[in-house]
Structure 1
Amino acid sequence: MDMRKKQYNTPLAARLEEVAERNHLSNSDMARIAGVSRSSVNAWYKRGTISKDSAAKIASATNVSLAWLLTGTEEKNTLGLDEDELALLETYRAMPPIEQRNMLAAFQMRLQQLKEFYANYADPTTRQK
């Protein structure tokens, strides 16, 4: 069992440990995800710093925000998205790229179907009397 929490007492180390525990990741796993050496991961815990590139890879792989991993606080939702939209975006981002494209195509197809339905049956300007 890793003793990372007891060895290193930095805010970043605590967040990294939380991410590692939640996702059942060893330091070797985290090194593989970030594309760095295991000693680099150990240095993150010891120094309490991580490159933005490595942090972005870890955040993406573990489904946490980069802002939270780096600072401990969540970014505000500046896009004005509601909870359903945020959940949809989070789900989309968790998918492999090919599946993201498939889902986007499915949504676009469904939107076109709805537009056609509306034009044929619900639009008062095109409906026959």
Structure 2
Amino acid sequence: MKGKNHQIEHPQIRRLNELMTLKGISKAEMARIAGVSPQSVNNWFLRGTVGKNSALKLSEALGVSVAWLLGEDVDENTGLAPSEVQMLELFRQLPPAEQERMIDLFQLRLKEIDDYVEKYLRGRYKPSEE
């Protein structure tokens, strides 16, 4: 098959292969868990895509995060990116009052960014004069 070899490095295919190795399951077992046909699982490996419902069922049954299964650079169990893990570890070191202050600061910063983007878009996409 022409497209088969280049798909091996696709993130979702790598994770599916890793999942089979880690959990000691076959493609047929994946199909049973996801409630799909074995042909559907073969198509995942050919196309490099897993449907949302199937990914949810596999992640729940096999104890991995959906984000990890879908090939994102996150922790297998938590689904958090390395920077999110670092942020959470730092956040947990703060006293409760400072945690609340940090949440307020994040909300304020997000609003500032939203306002900036809205202002930028208004300036860039002016309605044409008639």
State the aligned residue count. 78
Runs of 4+ in 1 over 4 A off after TM superposition: 5-8
- 1:62 aligned residue: 62
Percent identity of paired positions between Structure 1 and Structure 2:
42
1:38 paired residue number: 38
Cα RMSD, aligned residues only: 2.6
Partner of 2:47: 47
Q: Secondary structure in 2 aligned to 1:17?
A: helix
Instruction: Provide the rounded CA distance (Å) in 2 between the counterparts of 1:20 and 1:57.
Output: 15
Unaligned runs of 5+ in 1: 83-129
Distance across 2 between alignment mates of 1:7 and 1:28: 23
Alpha carbons 1:15, 1:72 under 8 Å: kept: no
Equivalent pair of 2:11/2:70 in contact (CA under 8 Å): no
Distance apart, 1:60 and its partner CA:
1.1
**Residues 38 and 11 of structure 1: is their aligned pair in 2 closer, same or farther, counting only changes over 3 Å?**
same
Asked whether the equivalents of residues 27 and 38 of structure 1 are also in contact (C-alpha less than 8 Å), the reply is: yes
Partner of 1:108: none
| 8 Å Cα contact 2:15-2:71 kept in structure 1 | no
Calculate the TM-score normalised by the size of structure 1. 0.52
Please report how far the alpha carbon of residue 52 of structure 1 lies from its aligned counterpart in structure 2 after TM superposition. 0.7
Q: Which AA in structure 2 matches 1:46? A: L
- Cα drift, residue 70 of structure 1: 1.1
Question: What residue is the counterpart of 1:109 in the other structure?
Answer: none
Letter aligned with residue 51 of structure 2: S
